[in-house]
Structure 1
Amino acid sequence: MTAQTPRVGHASIDKVVEWVDTDASGHQHNSAIMRWVEAAEAELMRTLDLPDYFPSAPRVHQEISYRSKLWFGQLITATVEVQKLGRTSLTYAFEVRGHAHPKSTGGTAAFGTVTVAHVPPGFDTSLPWPGDLTEAITRLMAEDTDAA
């Protein structure tokens, strides 16, 4: 996703940039982006009723491009969309947009991808995703493609 409206298997959350999210200059700390992306990811998994996803989905790769600053008190929207479902991995594209603020006109602040692997508790390597997850993600992707 590069500054586009999400299309496939997506979820969004709105947050306000809190003081804890900023660095000494008052704009977002780079780590805040991934916290907001993970909150949108959690919303997606709640929507799909997949509560066992998080203990088994460590991050194995992420790429972030920063476009603009987000300021203390600014409303943001973080969106994730399923980009690719693999046998043992899942890749999301994400975008974090700022809304209008006294220090910013708003727009895309950051975008990128994050890949997770399915590593169930007690295992050290990735294993195929369970059927309920692959069915839910596949169904969601098909529904979003049909709606496009």
Structure 2
Amino acid sequence: MTSHVEPVRVEFVDTDAGGRIHHTAALRWAERAEHSLLRAAGLSELTSFPRRRITVEFFAPLHFGDRAEVEIAATAIGRTSITYGWRVLRAGQECVVGETTCVRVGEDGRPSEVDRAMREALGHP
């Protein structure tokens, strides 16, 4: 399975009124890591996979200035979908864990098959 680690830093814009990350920050970081994973795997198709399902669990707070890493990998590839498992770690501590399922759509807006080259590039031959 092909994976990627994306470094992130909690910026002021990522925080809520309590000084912790706003929940949407983790989603942005995961999406950035997903696109970096695809680029690192040599894939150029980055925009034809709208989100179908996202689950997120928060285990430890992150604050302004914290440095963390997003680890991501394609954990399952279906006929028309890819599911990514991801987590945000600060100094090895699991702070956020999530899963994102995307569906490939064609130019007609309908689901289309994930091709063999993409499966192989993501470690799912």
Shorter-chain TM-score bucket reads over 0.9
> Do residues 41 (structure 1) and 52 (structure 2) align?
no
Question: Over the residues paired in the alignment, what is the CA RMSD in angstroms?
Answer: 1.5
Equivalent in 77, 82, 104 of residue 74 of structure 2: 82
Specify the SS of the correspondent of 1:83.
strand
Deviation string, structure 1 residues 64-101 (Cα, Å, up to 9, x no partner): 111011000000101111110111000011111123xx
Larger proportion of strand: 2
Post-superposition shift, 1:43? 1.3
CA distance in 2, matches of 1:60, 1:50: 21
- The answer on whether the counterparts of 2:8 and 2:68 sit within 8 Å (CA) in structure 1 is yes
Relative to structure 1, the CA distance from residue 141 to residue 9 in structure 2 (aligned partners, 3 Å threshold; closer, same or farther) is: farther
Q: Structure 1 runs of 4+ off > 6 angstroms?
A: none
Residue type of the alignment partner of 1:14: P
Deviation string, structure 1 residues 12-41 (Cα, Å, up to 9, x no partner): 111110001001111100000011111111
Equivalent in 36, 39, 55 of residue 47 of structure 2: 55
- The percent identity for this pair of structures is 30
> Do residues 16 (structure 1) and 9 (structure 2) align?
yes
Post-superposition shift, 1:141? 4.6
Question: Larger Cα Rg: Structure 1 or Structure 2?
Answer: 1
Relative to structure 1, the CA distance from residue 29 to residue 19 in structure 2 (aligned partners, 3 Å threshold; closer, same or farther) is: same
Summarize the alignment of residues 61-80 of structure 1 with structure 2, pairs less than 5 Å apart.
61-80=53-72
Residue in structure 2 matched with residue 95 of structure 1 by the alignment: 87
TM-score, with structure 1 as normaliser? 0.79
CA distance in 1, matches of 2:102, 2:38: 13
> Do residues 130 (structure 1) and 115 (structure 2) align?
yes
Larger proportion of helix: 1
- The answer on whether the counterparts of 2:2 and 2:121 sit within 8 Å (CA) in structure 1 is no
Unmatched 5+ stretches in structure 1: 1-7, 100-105, 143-148
How many residue pairs align between the two structures? Answer: 125
